């Protein structure tokens, strides 16, 4: 009989604990978008210091998410996208300038 009382006390204490109260939990945010593929694509453009920085920011965003800092991961991911787009644009400009100089100097 005392075991039944102990179990009911245990159940009541567990039901009142914050771990058992799943109704009041805020929905967890999903994983922010990973922009690793975009930063790897930017590494093929001839703007090497910029695209390496984009890749580093992308990896920092991944490590931030793994550490549990979702807001930091979103911010770093956004910076990685902006830098990767800048690297792609700079790479295309370098290619365009090279083509213009190459074809305008030939006789």
Query: pLDDT class for 98, splitting at 50, 70, 90?
Result: very high
Tell me whether residue 10 is in a domain: no
Query: pLDDT class for 100, splitting at 50, 70, 90?
Result: very high
Tell me whether residue 11 is in a domain: no
Domains identified in the chain, total number:
1
75: containing domain:
34-107
Q: What is the pLDDT of residues 50-84, one digit of tens each?
A: 999 999 999 999 999 999 999 999 999 999 999 99
Tell me whether residue 16 is in a domain: no
Tell me whether residue 74 is in a domain: yes
Burial label, 79 (beta-carbon count in 10 A; 0-12, 13-18, 19+): middle
**Residue 88 pLDDT > 80:** yes
Only one residue has tokens 């100097």, namely 105
More confident residue, 30 or 72: 72
Tell me whether residue 26 is in a domain: no
What span, in angstroms and rounded, lies between the C-alpha atoms of 65 and 61? Answer: 6
Tokens representing 36 are 């690793």
- Looking at the chain, the number of H-run helices and the number of E-run strands are 4, 0
| Torsions phi, psi for 32 (to 5 deg) | -65, 160
pTM score > 0.75 for this model?
no
Q: What's 47's DSSP letter?
A: -
Tell me whether residue 3 is in a domain: no
């Amino acid at each position: 009989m005392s075991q039944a009382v102990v179990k009911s006390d245990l159940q009541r204490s567990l039901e009142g604990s914050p771990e058992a109260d799943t109704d009041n939990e805020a929905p967890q945010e999903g994983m922010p978008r990973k922009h690793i593929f975009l930063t790897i694509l930017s590494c093929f453009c001839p703007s090497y210091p910029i695209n390496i920085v984009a890749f580093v920011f992308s990896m920092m965003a991944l490590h931030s998410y793994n550490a549990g800092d979702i807001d930091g991961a979103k911010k770093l991911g956004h910076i990685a996208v902006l830098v990767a787009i800048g690297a792609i644009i700079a790479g295309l400009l370098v290619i365009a300038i090279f083509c213009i100089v190459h074809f305008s100097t030939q006789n």
